[in-house]
Amino acid sequence: MSKIVRKIRPSEYWRIGEHESYFSDMSLKGLHLHKIGTYFIHFKKGEPKRIEYRMEVTKKKSITYEQIDLYEENGWEYVTSYQYFHVFSSLEESNAPEIHTDPAEQAYTLQRLSKILLVNLIAMSLAVALMIGLLSATWFLDGTPVLRLVEGYIIQQSIMSILFLYYVYYSIQATRAIRSLKRDLNEGKAINHHAPWQSSLHKNAIFPFFYAGIALVSAILPVMQLIKMDTYTLPQEDGGLPIVRLADIEQNPLLQRDEYYIDEVDWANRYSTNWSIFAPVQYETDEGGIVEGRMWLDESGTYSPSISSEIYELTFQAFAAPLVKDLIKWNSYKEEIDSYVEIDHATLDELRVHEEEEQKQIVAVKGKVVMYVRYYGYADVDHLIENVAQKIEVFAEKENT
């Protein structure tokens, strides 16, 4: 049983001469090429020997028996294959005839690969461009990129598209390298089977691992989000949640819930939880009530106040200010955006209020907590502000301890 030694596979697989030279140098150290995998090259430990290696490129991912036989009859032993590349070896002392005696003829062997690489590159570039186009639309079309970031629904896709973008760059390198090798061969420049490999071959070798690592970690994000995402019926009493409650605002014992149940959740009186790396605690709430015997002032129907809110606890405080802007933009009509008034508050870091008849909108910041509240009803806006300040205070303190 001989021992197998694994080495990280160079990512620049198109450097044929450098690979041949690398395998020869490894054999001098007693590590003889055995197998080429996706991430590792396997070497068999043995006696140090002077061995020549040649990498052959074929039209298909397999090599024919006929080709192997012809090479073996000439003293070149078949070692292993990786996709379009096939490695043959020969003891230096056996003086086997050179496999390719005509560089221009060898150039033909790269023709098919060169074409495949180009077609793949074009197809992939189009796909990645489409993907990035769609994603950018999601990020920027509403003009609320910080809100999108904090919600975290498209972070994983964005990381993936950046990785794909790198892959496009990598494919461009491969395509160009094979094309230029083909050109060199056509001009009669043979491959240097002893090209120095130390600096060129292993410089980016670690990248595939880095790449796979990021892809793996980013794949956890949506799973994590799915685990943390849920919707519950709001409890009748406070429940220790950092949510501004309709009963506290209205302070009317006649207020009753306006219920709307689907699948055992009262969607008119609910709170939903969410998670993202930039806002690990998130709530979105709706609450609606009805006061029998009281009418809206315009006699349009029974008085039915409601409150909706969004609460974010951010990872980085720096996102608070841009998030405020995005929340206003996302939740308001165009003409409302400019009518928010900034108010100095004793305990809040930032407070913006918009009031228009029975609709009141508030965005408040305290530390890393950002809260948006929209209320329809006749309660006083100052009363609403104090409730927001109190809930946000409790939440910010709880998260700090």
| Chain positions contacting another protein, by CB under 8 A | 54, 56, 65-67, 69-71, 73-74, 76, 97-102, 104-106, 108-109, 111
Taking the least distance from each CB to another protein, the nearer of 116 and 247 is 116
Reading the block at residue 184, the tokens are 């060199």
Beta strands 77-82 and 85-91, pairing class: antiparallel
- Closest CB to another protein among residues 101, 401: 101
Cα 246 from Cα 106, distance rounded (Å): 80
Task: Report in angstroms how near the CB of residue 88 gets to another protein at its nearest.
Answer: 9
SS3 254: coil
Helices (H) and strands (E) in the chain, counts: 12, 17
Strand stretches in 49-176, DSSP E:
51-57, 77-82, 85-91
Kindly write down the DSSP assignment for every residue of 25-68, as one continuous string. Answer: HHHHTTEEEEEE-SSEEEEEE-----EEEEEEE-SSSS--HHHH
Of residues 100 and 329, the one with the C-beta less far from another protein: 100
Q: Is 247 helix (H, G, I), strand (E, B) or coil?
A: helix
**Residue 130, exposed/middle/buried by CB under 10 A (0-12, 13-18, 19+)?**
exposed
For the bound state, the minimum distance from the C-beta of residue 24 to another protein, rounded and expressed in Å, comes to 18
> Closest CB to another protein among 13 and 88?
88
Q: Which residues contact 342 (CB under 8 A, 6 or more apart)?
A: 350, 351, 352
Bridge partners, residue 291, by sequence? 255
Q: Please tell me whether residue 270 adopts helix, strand or coil conformation.
A: strand
Q: Which is nearer to another protein, 63 or 149 (CB)?
A: 63
> Which residues are CB-neighbours of 267 under 8 A, at least 6 positions away?
231, 260, 261, 286
Please name which of 323, 251, 324, 244 lies closest in space to residue 286, comparing C-alpha atoms.
244
In the bound state with another protein, the residue whose beta carbon lies nearer, of 88 and 319, is: 88
- Beta carbon of residue 224, minimum distance to another protein (angstroms, whole number): 53
Closer residue to another protein, CB minimum distance, 99 or 155: 99
State which H helix or E strand residue 125 sits in. Answer: helix 111-140
Nearer to another protein, 67 or 138 (CB): 67
Residue 123: both structure tokens together: 């197809």
Q: Which is nearer to another protein, 70 or 127 (CB)?
A: 70
Give the shortest CB-178-to-another protein separation in angstroms: 16
Distance in Å, CB of 25 to another protein, minimum: 22
Element (H, E) at 135: helix 111-140
Report in angstroms how near the CB of residue 184 gets to another protein at its nearest: 16
| Minimum distance, C-beta of residue 55 to another protein, in the bound complex (Å) | 11
Asked if 182 contacts 14 with a C-beta cutoff of 8 angstroms, the reply is no
Cβ of residue 56: shortest distance to another protein, in angstroms?
6
- The distance of Cα 105 from the centroid of its chain, to the nearest Å, equals 45
Which residue lies nearer to another protein by CB, 98 or 397? 98
Nearest distance in Å: CB 2, another protein: 29
Q: Supply the minimum distance, in Å, between the C-beta of residue 54 and another protein.
A: 8
